[in-house]
Amino acid sequence: MTVLAQQLLLGLLIGGLYGLAAAGLSLIFGVMRVLNVAHGELIMLGGYGAFWLSALLGVDPFASLVIVIPASLLLGAVLYWGLFGFVVRAHEETRVKNSLLIGFGLALALHALAVRLWTADERSIPTSYGGAVLSLGDLAIPLVRLATLVLALLLIVALQLLLSRWRWGKAIRATAEDWQAALLTGIDIRRAYLLAFALGTALAGAAGTLVTVAYSVSPSIGLEWTLKALIVVVLAGLGSMMGTFVGGLVLGVAEAASAATFGGPYREIVGLVIFVVVLAVRPRGLFGR
């Protein structure tokens, strides 16, 4: 019983990161109707950012968020100007398909680049507090993972505030709701797209940092994280960042439950099955209005 509870707890803790990873994808998808399948590779880059900041400059991995987030924001803007900005001119169906293809090519290139630059080795960041555990009855809560869950939640709340209070946040939401109407009311939707993409990439960078602190990073984690984010987005639907976060927690717990029931190797499958089932029920996917 305790073993099961412990496993579910660990599932919940990684679920927060699933939510954070999915939030960026969901924001970009919801606003731009662009499906960036290189999202996982952006997470991977964020992870390496934190790793090298720690390895070369001795920056604490949590503190490195202060550098990784703005750097990812900039990277997002560059990717928008260089690649995805061209896609948003197309009709919606073509747009989703072309963005998928571009994201795919980008994912391959970034993966190969990461292997070339940093080898295929798996890396983690050693910290003095890495082994600290909070005991709660029979349960042991790894402090670092708890911290990543809390930080993920804080980032989601910050994003929520940004989208509801900030002038441009409202513009982003208006564009997501109906870009034609937004255009008619004088919103510069290109800038809303740019901001959404940059913010989404920043969230990916933050997620990557937290993943690397609590777990590890290697060039090949991209596809796995893209799939997790996609599963959560499909599960939670678009529009609510908090909903996405909860969707992430659900996936984390579901994976842990499936691993406990069918054995460790099967933890990946449950999410994919959920994904396929939800898609089968809602074939128009997330736009089903």
Partner 1 sequence: MTAVGHERRWALAILAALGLLALLPLAGPREDLLNFVFLILLSITLAESWNIVAGYAGQVNLGHAAFFGLGALVTRTLWIGGTPVPLAMAAGAVTATMFALVIGVAAFRLRGAYFAIGTLALGEILKATIGNVLPEISTLPAATIASYRLTLRYYLALGLAAVSVIAVATLATSRLGLGMRAIREDEEAAEASGVGALALKLTALALSTALAGLAGGLFAYYHISYYPAHPFGPHWTFDALLMTFIGGVGTLQGPVLGAALYVVLKEYLALRWVDIHLLIFGALFVAIVLLLPGGLVQAAERARWMFGRRA
**Which residues form the interface with partner 1 (CB under 8 A)?**
35, 37, 83, 86, 93, 96-102, 104-113, 115-116, 223, 227, 230-231, 263, 265-266, 268-269, 272-273, 275-276, 279-280, 283-285
Give 106 or 174: the residue with its C-beta nearer to partner 1: 106
- 214 vs 286 by CB, closer to partner 1: 286
CB of residue 236 to partner 1, shortest distance in Å? 15
CB 51 within 8 A of CB 212: yes
The answer to whether 124 and 212 are in contact (CB under 8 A) is yes
Name the residue nearer to partner 1 (CB basis): 188 or 268. 268
Report, in Å, the least distance between residue 73 CB and partner 1.
Answer: 22
Tokens of 72: 């990812």
Give whichever of 153 and 223 is closer to partner 1, judged by the CB atom: 223
Task: Please provide the DSSP assignment of 105-169 as one string.
Answer: HHHHHHHHHHHHHH-S--B----TTTT-EEEETTEEEEHHHHHHHHHHHHHHHHHHHHHHHSHHH
CB of 107 or CB of 214, closer to partner 1: 107
Which residue type is seen at 44? M
Find all residues with CB under 8 Å of 200, minimum gap 6, and list them.
24, 25, 27, 28, 36, 39, 76
Minimum CB separation from partner 1 for residue 68, in Å?
23
Q: Which is nearer to partner 1, 35 or 238 (CB)?
A: 35
- In 3D, which of 225, 214, 211, 215 has the Cα closest to residue 47? 211
CB of 287 to partner 1, least distance (A): 9
- Determine contact, residues 114/172, Cβ cutoff 8 Å: no
> Taking a C-beta distance cutoff of 8 angstroms, is the pair 194, 34 a contact?
no
Q: How far is the CB of 224 from partner 1 (least distance, A)?
A: 9
> Count of alpha carbons within 13 Å of 116, Cβ hemisphere only?
6
Question: Would you say 245 and 153 are in contact if contact means Cβ atoms under 8 Å apart?
Answer: yes
Q: Least separation, in Å, of the C-beta of 117 and partner 1?
A: 10
Whichever of 126 and 265 has its CB closer to partner 1, that residue is 265
Q: How far is the CB of 113 from partner 1 (least distance, A)?
A: 6
